[in-house]
Amino acid sequence: MNGAFWSVGECMLELRPQSNGTIIHAAAGDSYNTAVYLKRLAPALPVRYVSALGDDAMSILIRKHMRAERIDDSLVETRPGGTPGLYAIETDANGERRFAYWRAQSAARSMLAAAHLSQLEAGLAQCRALLLTGITLAILDDGRRTALLALAEKVRAAGGWVALDNNYRSALWDAATAAQWMDRATRACTHALFSFEDEAVLHGAGNSAQALQRIESLGVPEAALKLGAGGCLLGGAAVRTTVHVPAPEVQAVDTTAAGDSFNAGYLAQRLAGANAIRAAQFACTLAAAVVGHHGAIIPAHAMPPLPDTLSAEP
């Protein structure tokens, strides 16, 4: 497998207060979660995270988490004086989880400054696949959104893939702005890995078939529409006909990172040469394991191994 996988976005420090007064920390964020799962599935594939962090102790801690997962952080720019985004997961007396965020001023929002963009352009020929998400676009200003999509176009022009997860978060941007930028990003991508639930909120799609049709109408070559416990719907010109891939039945205990792990499973299989159906089957298997465990990043030993695709292909 030549070339590297680049994931662009915001990695935050996750804080989990414990009943004994201590706090457990981890690194998390949609684009980061996908990077971690993909690196675990394809250890030989260089996985680079693209973002910005500060130079404070919390930023250094995030880099340590990244390196422990063998994520290359050389494309994570350091902003002197900057600080990262943080979030805390609190569990109330009824066991309900609540998330509190401190991310409005995070250094990630200032990624893609001129020097960072030059660094990315210089390495672009080695980018085999680039991952962007709706959250990545949401935290950037218009100038940076434009620069990121221009970068995506260059990756695609050089023969690389551009994967996009819609991940719509209404707290980060308004629906009209999000709809406009997501459509631009969708036109630029080669692989749309969208959640139907988010698509329905953003565009009011009635059912999954209609949502898939809307995505296909934007010219996406390959699309997987994630349907929660319903598995996914595959489409796009490269897939030819719509195919439904069911999810394994599992007792879901925490759906955090279901979609992120799906993306990693799908891309790991496609990058290894599997067809879209096999990729979706494995993506659903991995995501089922993830929803069956607590936390965004489950232990490596709880993940299903990547099937030996090439020998299994007809």
# of chain residues touching ligand ADP (CB under 6 A): 19
CA dihedral sign, ordered 180, 287, 305, 240: negative
Residue 112 lies near ligand ADP (rule: CB under 6 A): no
Q: How far is the CB of 280 from ligand ADP (least distance, A)?
A: 8
**Phi, psi torsion values for 70, nearest 5 degrees:** 60, 35
**Phi, psi torsion values for 91, nearest 5 degrees:** -110, 120
Amino acid in position 252? A
Residue 231 lies near ligand ADP (rule: CB under 6 A): yes
Which member of 75, 189, 220, 247 binds ligand ADP (CB under 6 A)?
A: 247
- Whole-angstrom distance, CA of residue 3 vs CA of residue 243: 30
Which 182-201 residues touch ligand ADP, going by CB under 6 A?
195, 197
In the complex with ligand ADP, the residue whose CB is nearer, 144 or 278, is 278
Where does this chain touch ligand ADP (CB under 6 A) — which range of 17-25, 68-76, 132-140, 245-253?
Answer: 245-253
For 262-293, b/e burial (b = at least 16 CB within 10 A) is bbbbbbbbbbbebebebbbbbbbbbbbbbbeb
Could you give the count of Cα atoms lying within 13 Å of 21 in the half-sphere of its Cβ?
0
Residue 232 lies near ligand ADP (rule: CB under 6 A): yes
In the complex with Mg ion, the residue whose CB is nearer, 110 or 195, is 195
> Catalytic residue at 260?
yes
Catalytic residue set: 260
- Give the residues lining the site for ligand ADP (CB under 6 A): 195, 197, 226-229, 231-232, 247, 250, 252, 255, 258-259, 262, 284, 287-288, 291
